[in-house]
């Protein structure tokens, strides 16, 4: 793979971290596009890759931003390399982050002048242009020194980019690593040999050597600033998105009861992504009656009149029913957050899970299906919490209400999901009603946000409810919710 192809692959990784979906086939299309149009015309390259790699208007906006950040370099300040520089300093002096600091004190400068062997004149020669000096200037011997004093801007930026790829700068995660990666890139470009050369030149003490040492140190300091800027841009390009992914992964695992208000919006966005993922995975299983698998026997039998030519293909059709789901959520204060996000997830799956009936309670049970169907999720959740979230929790009353009004609607195609901590304030648990639901339903799932060790402590009634359920799970994070709903969809397919 050529260097341009490597760069293109890295750019596509950046696009993917920016939520632009790029398939392997589209990656090959992008490589072919670059081979056809070349890289001479930057705007043409940008427009062509945008056509190949971004689809929606939102993706095109993200693509433009990523392209500008990824393929833009600041101009190197090569016009001043070696002509002006801060006063020279002993090579051994280093800053705390391992980089050589350009600043020195007047005392250090005077010490160096004294060591030059020729008074103040020698100490000033390095800062003069080649046209102003009265001796033949020396040329650098190190590779980096030659590149900085003799190379053009493009050569320097290519070397910088190659060094960045060599030390894998795109793996930068936190901003405090900027100094570390700056030093690594400088070393990959040949900083050590440059430092040895400067040390030897300073030890020589002649005017040409002092002059060249000053030019090299000036060029080194200017390069370091450019490398710092480059690393910072790589951080914004790679770590900013990967950091967002890390935060999302953390929010998927954290207990929903520990979420702060400022995280709620981001969690809702994660829920929508989860829903889209589940829809993409399970939508193909919704119905196979439109086509189904090839029925070889029927196909051969129906084409016998055509001497075996397959004019009429027959498919083994089979309709896969989507599950009828009844979701009963405790919306009292202790578990309201869990119920909120479970309902949001279920109703985000309307495309593949349309038969959802929702109920909320703290004591008396109420159906909120139409509320979610006719208003936004946020408004529906707010009204549900307001109407049903007050009062002392009473699971026994909830079960009696369900038996009186809704048990007749349960059949062998029904999955019942109950989300609650089963803490009944020492009331009558009415576990026999849950047993009736168990007998009539296809599946009864109880999701408890508390750890299993708490299921038998205090007023918890899980020890009585658990035998009346097909499945009992700890469920206190987005990751748990996704697993439960994914399993539900998988059973239905």
pLDDT in tens, 401-442: 999 999 999 998 899 999 999 999 899 999 999 999 999 999
State the Cα–Cα distance between residues 481 and 347, nearest whole angstrom. Answer: 13
Q: What is the pLDDT of residues 196-213, one digit of tens each?
A: 988 988 888 888 888 888
How confident is the model at residue 10, as a pLDDT?
Answer: 79
Q: How far is CA 246 from CA 63, 240, 257, 423, in A?
A: 22, 10, 20, 34
Specify whether 156 is located in the same domain as 64. Answer: no
Examine residue 255 and state whether it is found in any structural domain, yes or no: no
Identify the pLDDT of residue 317: 62
301 and 448 within one domain: no
Transcribe 376-398 into DSSP letters: -HHHHHHHHHHHHS-S---HHHH
How does residue 463 score in pLDDT terms, banded at 50, 70 and 90?
very high
Q: Which of 205, 221, 248 is a domain's end point? A: 248
Q: Specify the pLDDT at position 464.
A: 93
Tell me what pLDDT residue 419 has: 92
Does residue 324 contact residue 355 with C-beta atoms inside 8 Å? yes
In a domain, 258, yes or no: no
CA atoms within 13 A on the CB side of 364: 6
417 within some domain: yes
Same domain, 430 and 282: no
Which structural domain, as residue segments, surrounds residue 328?
324-492
Identify the CA nearest to 394 among candidates 434, 366, 360, 428.
Answer: 428
Q: What is the DSSP string of 312-346?
A: S--EE----PPPEEEEEEE-STTTHHHHHHHHHHH
Residue 257 inside a domain? The answer is no
3-state SS of the chain: helix, strand, coil percent to 5?
60, 10, 35
Claim to verify: residue 407 and residue 344 sit in the same structural domain: yes
Q: Is residue 26 part of a domain?
A: yes
Domain of 436, CATH number, reads 3.40.50.410
pLDDT in tens, 337-394: 788 888 888 888 776 777 788 999 988 899 998 888 888 877 888 888 888 887 788 9
158: nearest Cα among 143, 142, 173, 147:
147
- The residue with greater pLDDT, 352 or 130, is 352
CA 279 to chain CA mean position, Å:
20
Cβ(230)–Cβ(180) under 8 Å?
no
Q: Is residue 151 part of a domain?
A: yes
414-419 sheet: strands from edge to edge? 365-367, 356-361, 324-330, 414-419, 443-448, 471-474
CA-CA-CA-CA dihedral for 244, 246, 249, 255, to nearest 10: -100
On whether both 242 and 346 belong to a single domain, the answer is no
With b for 16 or more beta-carbon neighbours within 10 A and e for fewer, the 396-412 pattern comes to bbbbbbbbeebeeebee
In the chain, how many domains are there?
4
Same-domain pairing of 111 and 233:
yes
pLDDT of residue 204: 84
**Same domain flag for 25 and 118:** no
Report residue 173 as tokens: 């995660």
Rounded-to-integer distance, Cα 360 and Cα 330, Å: 6
Calculate mean pLDDT across residues 12-39: 85
Among candidate residues 41, 70, 99, the one where a domain is terminated: 70
Element (H, E) at 430: none
Q: How does the average pLDDT of the chain come out, rounded?
A: 78
Do 300 and 358 belong together in one domain? no
Claim to verify: residue 113 and residue 232 sit in the same structural domain = yes
pLDDT tens-place string over residues 153-192: 778 888 888 888 888 887 777 777 888 889 999 999 999 9
* 246 Cβ contact list (under 8 Å, min separation 6): 173
Q: Are residues 153 and 208 in the same domain?
A: yes
**CA dist., res. 250 & res. 98, Å (int):** 33
Q: Does residue 355 share a domain with residue 302?
A: no
Three-point CA angle 45, 71, 38, nearest 5°: 30
Q: Indicate whether 12 pLDDT > 50.
A: yes
pLDDT at 115 (0 to 100): 39
Supply the Cα-derived Rg of the chain in whole angstroms: 35
Confidence of residue 150 (pLDDT cuts 50, 70, 90): confident
Asked if residue 358 is part of any domain, the answer here is yes
Which residue has better confidence, 144 or 92?
144
User: If DSSP codes are grouped into helix, strand and coil, which group holds residue 458?
Assistant: coil
Q: SS3 for 489? A: helix
Average pLDDT (301-320) is 72
Written as one string, the DSSP assignment of 244-309 is HHHHHHHHHHS-GGG--GGGHHHHHHHHHHHHHHHHHHHGGGS--TTS-EE-HHHHHHHTGGGTT-
Nearest to 132, CA basis, from 94, 179, 82, 91? 82
Cβ(447)–Cβ(484) under 8 Å? yes
pLDDT in tens, 64-110: 888 887 776 544 444 334 433 333 333 333 333 333 333 333 333 33
Contact in structure between 14 and 66 (CB atoms under 8 Å): yes
DSSP reduced 3-state for 189: coil
Q: Which of 70, 92, 111 is the last residue of a domain?
A: 70
> Are the C-beta atoms of 337 and 256 separated by less than 8 Å?
yes
* Inside any domain, residue 254: no
Q: How confident is the model at residue 123 (pLDDT cuts 50, 70, 90)?
A: very low
Q: Coil, strand or helix: which one is 423? A: strand
Share of the chain above pLDDT 90, in %: 17
Distance CA 399, CA 422 (A): 12
pLDDT at 485 over 80: yes
* Same-domain check for residues 338 and 458: yes
């Amino acid at each position: 793979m050529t260097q341009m192809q490597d760069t293109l692959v890295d750019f596509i990784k950046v696009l993917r971290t920016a939520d632009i979906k790029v398939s392997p086939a589209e990656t090959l299309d992008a490589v072919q596009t670059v081979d056809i149009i070349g890289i001479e015309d930057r705007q043409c390259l940008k427009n062509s890759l945008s056509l190949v790699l971004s689809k929606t208007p939102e993706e095109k906006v993200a693509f433009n931003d990523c392209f500008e950040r990824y393929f833009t370099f600041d101009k190197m300040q090569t016009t001043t390399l070696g002509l002006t520089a801060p006063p020279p300093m002993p090579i051994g002096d280093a800053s705390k982050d391992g980089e050589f600091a350009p600043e020195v004190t007047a005392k250090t400068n005077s010490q160096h002048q004294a060591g030059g062997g020729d008074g103040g004149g020698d100490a000033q020669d390095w800062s003069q242009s080649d046209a102003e000096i009265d001796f033949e200037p020396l040329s650098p011997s190190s590779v980096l020194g030659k590149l900085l004093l003799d190379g053009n801007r493009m050569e320097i930026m290519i070397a910088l980019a190659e060094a960045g790829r060599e030390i894998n700068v795109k793996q930068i995660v936190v901003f405090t690593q900027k100094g570390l990666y700056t030093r690594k890139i400088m070393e990959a470009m040949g900083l050590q040999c440059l430092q040895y050369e400067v040390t030897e030149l300073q030890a020589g003490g002649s005017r040409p050597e002092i002059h060249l040492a000053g030019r090299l140190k000036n060029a080194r300091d200017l390069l370091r600033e450019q490398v710092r800027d480059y690393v910072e841009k790589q951080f914004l390009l790679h770590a900013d998105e990967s950091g967002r992914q890390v935060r999302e992964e953390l929010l998927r695992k954290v207990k929903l009861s520990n979420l702060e208000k400022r995280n709620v919006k981001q969690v809702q966005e994660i829920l929508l992504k989860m829903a889209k993922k589940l829809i993409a995975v399970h939508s193909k299983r919704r119905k196979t009656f439109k086509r189904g698998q090839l029925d070889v026997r029927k196909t051969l039998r129906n084409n016998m009149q055509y001497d075996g030519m397959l004019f009429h293909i027959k498919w083994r059709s089979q309709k896969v029913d989507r599950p009828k789901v009844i979701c009963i959520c405790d919306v009292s204060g202790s578990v309201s957050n869990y119920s909120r996000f479970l309902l949001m997830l279920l109703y985000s799956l309307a495309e593949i899970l349309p038969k959802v009936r929702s109920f909320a309670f703290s004591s008396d049970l109420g159906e909120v299906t139409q509320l979610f169907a006719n208003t936004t999720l946020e408004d529906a959740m707010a009204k549900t919490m307001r109407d049903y979230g007050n009062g002392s929790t009473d699971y026994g009353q909830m079960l009696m209400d369900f038996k009186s009004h809704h048990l007749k609607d349960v059949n062998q195609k029904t999955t019942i999901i109950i989300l609650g901590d089963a803490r009944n304030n020492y009331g009558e648990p009415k576990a026999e009603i849950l047993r009736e639901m168990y007998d009539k339903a296809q599946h009864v799932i109880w999701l408890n946000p508390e750890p299993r060790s708490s299921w038998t402590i205090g007023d918890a009634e899980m020890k009585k409810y658990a035998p009346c359920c097909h499945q009992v799970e700890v469920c206190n994070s987005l990751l748990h919710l996704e697993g439960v709903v994914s399993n539900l969809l998988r059973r239905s397919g």
